[in-house]
Amino acid sequence: MVVAGCDIGSTTAKAVILDGDTIVTHALLPVEGSPKDAAMQLLEVTLNNAGILHREIAAVCGTGYGQKNVPYASFMESEIVCHARGIQFIDPDVRTIIDIGGQDAKVCRIDAYGNVQRYVYNDKCASGTGRFLEITADVMEVPVTKLATLDASGVKEVTLSNQCVVFAETEVISLLNSGEDMGSIVKGLHRALASRVASLALSIGVEEKIAFTGGVAHNAGMVGALERVLKTKLVVHEYCQIMGALGAALIAKERMKHGVAS
């Protein structure tokens, strides 16, 4: 049985097609403008990658920030439930998930079956999200994908005193103008974001193993900063950015198996 999961985030749209327990294909596209347009483009790209027709998919589960903009979804499920189901499929030993996306950060604890026990999220302030890194990367006039390289070149960890993104942006400009090493500034940025996310995690209690998911998990500098703050190693899977879409596809499979199509 072929099913799909579609995760429309604030900055990227992700999809996974499953045939049984096998990942047939996955796709990731930027969300530029309309989330609905991104969802439609994502469907076309994913189907082309898999070499199948839309009618061959038994069910599609939508999730994410823009899940209501997935017109072809058979049903929807929350991001937290989908991430939990996805990571449990990939690594059953994980008990805590930290997910940092473009506009929010989420932490949840799960049991051995992938059921969510406790969760907390931040979607009110950009200082604890990937947007914090994007804004400061723009200030430094470097691609956000280069932050990990800059972090590795940093000779020290600059302390940022401002929690607010707007004031932090001004502080970064001041540090650059004073001749501070860019790599050291990036180390400080990563530490600041890691500290905020770690506080979120500690508010519900952290249980190892800990998985780091979301697009920010591709940033090795951010991974290292979180590991230093939490004083433990993190699991970062190659599918970290599509974990929500994978979980959604798994939920679609389960619901079809039990005859629940809507």
Domain 1-91+240-262 has CATH 3.30.420.40: yes
Q: What is the pLDDT of residues 224-247, one digit of tens each?
A: 999 999 999 999 999 999 999 999
For 16-46, how does the pLDDT look when each residue is reduced to its tens digit (9 = 90+)?
A: 999 999 999 999 999 988 889 999 999 999 9
194 pLDDT higher than 60: yes
pLDDT at residue 133 is higher than 70 = yes
* Lowest-pLDDT range of 76-80, 165-169, 222-226: 165-169
The confidence band for 91, taking pLDDT boundaries of 50, 70 and 90, is: very high
Question: Rounded to 10 degrees, what is the CA torsion of 113, 119, 122, 124?
Answer: 120
pLDDT of residue 71: 92
The residues with which 18 forms a beta bridge, in sequence order, are: 3, 23
The predicted model gives 62-66 an average pLDDT of 90
Under the banding of pLDDT at 50, 70 and 90, the label for residue 207 is very high
* Token pair recorded at residue 71: 């017109």
pLDDT tens sequence across 97-115: 999 987 788 999 999 989 9
C-alpha atoms less than 13 angstroms from C-alpha of 230 in its C-beta half-sphere: 31
In the prediction, which pLDDT does 146 show? 93
- Phi and psi torsions of 58, nearest 5°: -70, -35
pLDDT of 127 above 80: no
**Predicted local confidence at residue 175, as pLDDT:** 87
Question: Under 8 Å CB-to-CB from 174, ≥6 apart: which residues?
Answer: none
Q: Which amino acid is it at 1?
A: M
Amino acid letter, residue 245: A
Output the pLDDT for position 101. 82
Is the per-residue pLDDT at 261 higher than 60? no
Global pTM reads 0.90
The mean pLDDT of the chain is: 90
pLDDT of 262 over the 60 cut: no
Q: Can you list the alpha helix ranges (DSSP code H) found in the chain?
A: 35-50, 79-90, 130-140, 147-153, 165-177, 182-202, 220-230, 243-257
pLDDT band at 123 (very low <50, low <70, confident <90, very high): low
Domains 1-91+240-262 and 94-236 share a fold: yes
pLDDT at 141 over 60: yes
Please tell me the predicted confidence (pLDDT) of residue 212.
97
Query: What are the structural domain ranges in the chain?
Result: 1-91+240-262, 94-236
Task: Name the CATH topology of 94-236.
Answer: Nucleotidyltransferase; domain 5 (3.30.420)
Contact predicate 27/14, CB 8 Å: yes
